Amino acid sequence: MASEMLQGRGSLSLSANDLERSLTFYTGLGFVVQDRYEDEGRLQGVMLRAGDALLGVSQDDFAKGRDRAKGLGMSFYVETDQDVAALARQAKDAGVTLDGDPAPLPWGPMGFRATDPDGFKVTICNKG
């Protein structure tokens, strides 16, 4: 019996130790806030958009402890047709620290990487 390929759309969701700090990081990379989720006037989460890429970021409730590791073994990969070097300059100008300057990735396209405040890796690159 042949398997049917999943036809889906989705988003990635992360929990942050400091939601406002993460929001500053991701908007510095060029994401825009699509939706805000508040509880009793307090920001609890956001849905961010970068073209067709969606990223949810919510405030950690620390139910599993304040010192638990985040971001280990996880990377968010965003492809774009835009000028990657210009996007990197824009991110730096917004205060984002890059993990290195834009350069060809091992599989060919130009890209750069940044690490968010909780250790999640984000790679922004041209289509390869």
Q: What is the pLDDT of residues 3-33, one digit of tens each?
A: 888 777 788 999 999 999 999 999 999 999 9
Contact 72, 118 (CB under 8 A): no
C-alpha angle with apex 65: 64 to 67, nearest 5 degrees?
A: 130
Q: What region does 105 belong to: left with phi over 0, alpha with psi -120 to 50, or beta?
A: beta
Structural domains of the chain, ranges and CATH numbers in brackets: 12-60+73-126 (3.10.180.10)
Reported as a single tens digit per residue, the pLDDT across 67-120 is 888 888 888 999 999 999 999 999 999 999 999 999 999 989 999 999 999 999
Tell me the residue length of the chain.
128
pLDDT at 1 over 70: no
Q: What is the pTM assigned to this prediction?
A: 0.90
